[in-house]
Homo-oligomer: A and B are copies of this chain.
Amino acid sequence: MGNGDVTLSEFARRVPVPPARPFLDTFRANLKETFFPDDPLRQFRDQTVPRKFMLGLKYFLPIFDWAPTYSVSLFKSDLIAGITIASLAIPQGISYAKLANLPPVLGLYSSFVPPLVYAMMGSSRDLAVGTVAVASLLISSMLGKEISPVQDPALYLHVAFTATFFAGLFQASLGLLRLGFIVDFLSHATIVGFMGGAATVVCLQQLKGMLGLQHFTTATDLVSVLQSVFSQVHQWRWESAVLGCCFLFFLLVTRFFSKRRPKFFWVSAAAPLTSVILGSLLVYLTHAENHGVQVIGHLKKGLNPPSATSLTFMPPYIMVALKTGIITGIIALAEGIAVGRSFAMFKNYHIDGNKEMIAFGTMNMVGSLTSCYLTTGPFSRSAVNYNAGCKTAMSNVIMSVAVMITLLFLTPLFHYTPLVVLSSIIISAMLGLIDYESAIHLWHVDKVDFCVCVGAYLGVVFGSVEIGLVIAVSISVMRVLLFVARPRTTVLGSIPNSMAYRRVDQYPAAQSVPGVLILGIDAPIYFANASYLRERISRWIDEETERTNGETSLQYLILDLGAVGSIDTSGIGMLEEVKKIVDRSGIKLVLANPGSEVMKKLDSSKVLEAIGHEWIFLTVADAVASCDFMLHTCKSNGASCENVV
């Protein structure tokens, strides 16, 4: 027996129990890894106080980082990019404000102040700030349920400002509280489906403008909209429809052209403004406004009036403002952060998500005090900015100046702009958001992600924007929970000519070891899967016994815990129960490759003593070697196996 011990220890490279660390140390380390994974304070270490102050200033206002080295050549690039995006921002701003049932001039206001704030605080060099269609639609559908924009426009406007304020507050809080990872729960698949659905819904809403209808449903789902459209066929205005289709065709052709030849990006960028000018001229010359073509009408001249006193924090409107703010805020954030990160990837610089959230939040809070509504970094506009060769956030400043000039001098020119042109601009922008290619890619790579995507799309189109979002996030979270609730357990076998043990269903060459069942567990062991795992392991043992028909009796169960990253008390209890179950069948439980957390908890719960530290091995190969040794020693010595160790 003493002999057996010595020889066994040759195989046993011990898995150490990590030394106990004070609870607060572990807690602090975990907290840091969870909320400060990027270690933003690293650069502040070992610096003098004035240097720390400068670094802090640069951290919160990145403009101090790039402005000192700003040069004329950079300015030239930014100037071109800024003017290009301004020519896109003006018609889009007016269109989206109409979509949100807000006064059109708000779209211009929103392209003046927020870009200036972002230019100071934002860390992306390519993001172009502006309003977005989806958030505009959400504002009109969520606020429209409580307040009529026609009967009480002033109240509607004030609540919209309040919602913008809450959206900014929420965004900044997420950033300050380092909760940026919440945005990560909106997966790529969710966003593809959601954006596609929202784009479809926005296009449907444009049927009102295209057909020159006066009355329209406030609902956004496909069924209500089609009912509304086809119930008033006799109200359709052909003049409006023809004009709209012409402009839409023009916009789509220019977009197609620019897509084929990226050098001519400015063709599609300038097309909306060209359409507005052409449309306005046409109406002015033909007096079409008297023949069923609706126009924008009077636009107030002058810069943003202050709106701090308009914010209403009184019930019952505070609740709807809060809800709208949070939902639009998180959607705007998801788009803005995703856009910022994508372009940072292209140009190989780093974007700090939490810092961006603070920038977006401040931008919207300041915006809500200066008659702006919700802004973010729209993908289409940022792509134009990028293609136009922008170098820094200065392009936003240029756009802002261009919009300021428009506000001060050019608003009367928009009097005769037909609404149908705005509808064409929106539709042409939205069609680009329906990313069916991504959906096909999802189907090929991951069916669950495809379900998430389609769920979000159908939810938005047939339900509402909120329903689509809830469906998509629920499926995504369900998937994560289901993964944890039903972890994969697989039989491992020995790969010939190697020390490795791998899944027999993945590697056909893998060979099982007689008398030993090796199971790999693929997930953390938690309360949610502990009873499943216990029963699944029992079933594996039963199946193994059935398979071998009792020829070679099962002697050892080796659990490979290499992939078990974490374990809780239920998981520890499960291991204890498995130990009891296999003991009863005369099988020995052996653990291989447990992580430090597993070892620590096995030790502190005394389950380690029950299993026996000598039955825990560094690798599966070590464990198998020991088991083999025991099996043969027992057979040749004729001694009982249980007595050797």
Number of interface residues of A (CB under 8 A): 92
Do the beta carbons of B185 and A502 come within 8 Å of each other? no
Which residues does chain B contribute within 8 Å of A565, judged by CB atoms?
A: 483, 487-488, 522-523, 563
Q: Does A486 contact B (CB under 8 A)?
A: yes
Which residues does chain B contribute within 8 Å of A513, judged by CB atoms?
A: none
Do the beta carbons of B495 and A569 come within 8 Å of each other? no
Selected contact of A604 from candidates B189, B445, B449, B570, CB within 8 Å: B445
Do the beta carbons of B601 and A446 come within 8 Å of each other? yes
Do the beta carbons of A502 and B618 come within 8 Å of each other? yes
Do the beta carbons of B444 and A181 come within 8 Å of each other? no
Do the beta carbons of B618 and A495 come within 8 Å of each other? yes
Do the beta carbons of B184 and A528 come within 8 Å of each other? yes
Do the beta carbons of A38 and B483 come within 8 Å of each other? no
Given contacts A353-B531, A507-B16, contact A483 B569 (CB under 8 A): no
Considering the complex, give the chain B residue whose CB is closest to the CB of A538. B350
Which residues does chain B contribute within 8 Å of A605, judged by CB atoms?
A: 441, 444-445
B-facing residues in A522-542 (Cβ within 8 Å): 522-524, 526-532, 535-536, 538-539
Considering the complex, give the chain B residue whose CB is closest to the CB of A561. B563
Do the beta carbons of B532 and A483 come within 8 Å of each other? no
Do the beta carbons of A184 and B353 come within 8 Å of each other? no
Copies of this protein in the complex:
2
Q: Does A512 contact B (CB under 8 A)?
A: no
Q: How far in angstroms is the closest Cβ of chain B from A72?
A: 29
Which residues does chain B contribute within 8 Å of A477, judged by CB atoms?
A: 481
Taken together as a complex, chains A and B put the C-alpha atoms of A566 and B490 apart, in Å, by 14
Considering the complex, give the chain B residue whose CB is closest to the CB of A496. B13
**A interface, over-half SS:** helix
Q: How far in angstroms is the closest Cβ of chain B from A540?
A: 11
Taken together as a complex, chains A and B put the C-alpha atoms of A570 and B449 apart, in Å, by 9
Q: Does A476 contact B (CB under 8 A)?
A: yes
Q: Does A27 contact B (CB under 8 A)?
A: yes
Which residues does chain B contribute within 8 Å of A181, judged by CB atoms?
A: 485-486, 528, 532
Taken together as a complex, chains A and B put the C-alpha atoms of A580 and B558 apart, in Å, by 39
Which residues does chain B contribute within 8 Å of A599, judged by CB atoms?
A: 506
Q: Does A584 contact B (CB under 8 A)?
A: yes
Taken together as a complex, chains A and B put the C-alpha atoms of A371 and B37 apart, in Å, by 58
Q: Does A67 contact B (CB under 8 A)?
A: no
Do the beta carbons of A481 and B483 come within 8 Å of each other? no
Do the beta carbons of A500 and B618 come within 8 Å of each other? yes
Selected contact of A442 from candidates B341, B508, B569, CB within 8 Å: B569
Which residues does chain B contribute within 8 Å of A580, judged by CB atoms?
A: 345
Do the beta carbons of A539 and B38 come within 8 Å of each other? yes
Q: Does A596 contact B (CB under 8 A)?
A: yes
Considering the complex, give the chain B residue whose CB is closest to the CB of A337. B531
Taken together as a complex, chains A and B put the C-alpha atoms of A565 and B449 apart, in Å, by 16
Q: How far in angstroms is the closest Cβ of chain B from A447?
A: 7
Which residues does chain B contribute within 8 Å of A481, judged by CB atoms?
A: 185, 477, 480
Do the beta carbons of A596 and B505 come within 8 Å of each other? yes
Q: Does A157 contact B (CB under 8 A)?
A: no
Q: Does A187 contact B (CB under 8 A)?
A: yes
Which residues does chain B contribute within 8 Å of A444, judged by CB atoms?
A: 604-605
Taken together as a complex, chains A and B put the C-alpha atoms of A359 and B581 apart, in Å, by 26
Which residues does chain B contribute within 8 Å of A441, judged by CB atoms?
A: 569, 605
Q: Does A18 contact B (CB under 8 A)?
A: yes
Do the beta carbons of A445 and B569 come within 8 Å of each other? yes
Q: Does A369 contact B (CB under 8 A)?
A: no
B-facing residues in A14-66 (Cβ within 8 Å): 16, 18, 23, 26-27, 33-34, 37-39
Q: How far in angstroms is the closest Cβ of chain B from A21?
A: 11
Given contacts A483-B524, A565-B523, A619-B498, contact A188 B531 (CB under 8 A): no
Which residues does chain B contribute within 8 Å of A572, judged by CB atoms?
A: 445-446
Q: Does A309 contact B (CB under 8 A)?
A: no
Do the beta carbons of B480 and A526 come within 8 Å of each other? yes
Considering the complex, give the chain B residue whose CB is closest to the CB of A444. B604
Which residues does chain B contribute within 8 Å of A502, judged by CB atoms?
A: 593, 618
Q: How far in angstroms is the closest Cβ of chain B from A187?
A: 3
Q: How far in angstroms is the closest Cβ of chain B from A169?
A: 23
B-facing residues in A455-492 (Cβ within 8 Å): 476-477, 479-488
Which residues does chain B contribute within 8 Å of A189, judged by CB atoms?
A: 527, 568-570
Which residues does chain B contribute within 8 Å of A584, judged by CB atoms?
A: 348
Given contacts A441-B569, A449-B569, contact A528 B185 (CB under 8 A): yes
Taken together as a complex, chains A and B put the C-alpha atoms of A140 and B570 apart, in Å, by 32
Q: How far in angstroms is the closest Cβ of chain B from A446?
A: 5
Q: Does A226 contact B (CB under 8 A)?
A: no
Considering the complex, give the chain B residue whose CB is closest to the CB of A529. B184
Selected contact of A480 from candidates B27, B345, B480, B505, CB within 8 Å: B480
Which residues does chain B contribute within 8 Å of A497, judged by CB atoms?
A: 13
Q: How far in angstroms is the closest Cβ of chain B from A357?
A: 13
Q: Does A573 contact B (CB under 8 A)?
A: yes
Which residues does chain B contribute within 8 Å of A563, judged by CB atoms?
A: 522, 562-563, 565
Please name 6 pairs of A and B residues whose Cβ atoms are closer than 8 Å in the assembled complex, sorted by A. Answer: A13-B497, A34-B482, A189-B569, A476-B527, A506-B596, A562-B562
**Residues in A lying within 8 Å of B, measured CB to CB:** 13, 16, 18, 23, 26-27, 33-34, 37-39, 181, 184-190, 341, 345, 348, 350, 353, 441-442, 444-449, 476-477, 479-488, 495, 497-500, 502-503, 505-508, 522-524, 526-532, 535-536, 538-539, 562-563, 565-566, 568-570, 572-573, 577, 580-581, 584, 593, 595-596, 599, 601, 604-605, 618-619, 621
